[in-house]
Amino acid sequence: MSVVDTLFIFFSLALVLSGLMVVLSPNAVVSALYLVLVFVFTAGLYILLQAFFLAILQVLVYAGAIMVLFLFVIMLLDLRRPSRWWAGNLPMLAGGALVGLAFGLSVWATLRRTTWPDTPPATLFRGDLAAVVTPLFTRALLPVEITAILLLAATIGVVVLTRREERP
């Protein structure tokens, strides 16, 4: 077993365990911290997939910016009390189990009908910076501009949403 395979198994197991802890933890702060671990281990998998730029971006944007935002809002709303979420919402748990079963069955059925190649392709895509970023300035230029406008709209929307109305 090569180093890459060992790392893949380690990252995958750690990713699934952290994701499980996000769902199960009664404390929102603990959930958020485990979500940081999920993002970091996903970045590890990106590195194994040779997507180095995306791995850096994952750590910077997801584990950095978005999770700081989450933790900031949790502390702002003072939600540090643990919630006994498993108590008293039996309909939700049953519905969740049902949907989970349906999702698992559909994934299983899809996997059954797919024929997988026995060997990986001889040449794999290597995600160096130029290969990933060049399309942003050529073919994907319009989506970049639209994303810019969307981010502007999101910024203005957040300011409007959280503005406190001043009543005379």
Of residues 76-115, which lie at the interface with other proteins (CB under 8 A)?
A: 76-77, 79, 83, 85, 89, 92-93, 95-96, 99-100, 103-104, 107, 111
Fill in the amino acid letter for 98: L
Tell which one of 30, 45, 56, 59 touches other proteins (CB under 8 A). 45
Under the criterion CB under 8 A, does residue 19 sit at the interface with other proteins? Answer: yes
Q: Which value, in Å, is the radius of gyration of the alpha carbons in the chain?
A: 21
Please name which of 52, 69, 63, 55 lies closest in space to residue 125, comparing C-alpha atoms: 52
Tell which one of 116, 137, 166, 167 touches other proteins (CB under 8 A). 116
Where would I find the H helices in the chain? 3-24, 28-48, 52-57, 67-76, 90-113, 129-137, 141-162
- The residue count for binding other proteins (CB under 8 A) is 77
Look up residue 36 and give its DSSP letter. Answer: H
**Pick 119 or 168: Cβ nearer other proteins:** 119
Tell which one of 30, 31, 37, 59 touches other proteins (CB under 8 A). 31
**Pick 18 or 168: Cβ nearer other proteins:** 18
Under the criterion CB under 8 A, does residue 30 sit at the interface with other proteins? Answer: no
Q: Rounded to 5 degrees, what angle do the CA atoms 120, 126, 129 make?
A: 160
**Pick 111 or 166: Cβ nearer other proteins:** 111
Under the criterion CB under 8 A, does residue 64 sit at the interface with other proteins? Answer: no
Tell which one of 75, 105, 140, 141 touches other proteins (CB under 8 A). 140
The backbone torsions φ and ψ at residue 36, rounded to the nearest 5 degrees and listed phi first, read: -60, -45
Q: How far apart are CA 113 and CA 116, in angstroms?
A: 10
Tell which one of 10, 50, 75, 109 touches other proteins (CB under 8 A). 50
Q: How far is the CB of 161 from other proteins (least distance, A)?
A: 4
Q: Rounded to 5 degrees, what angle do the CA atoms 81, 87, 92 make?
A: 110
Tokens 């989450």 locate to 70
Tell which one of 16, 75, 105, 109 touches other proteins (CB under 8 A). 16
Contacts of 124 (CB under 8 A, 6+ apart): 50
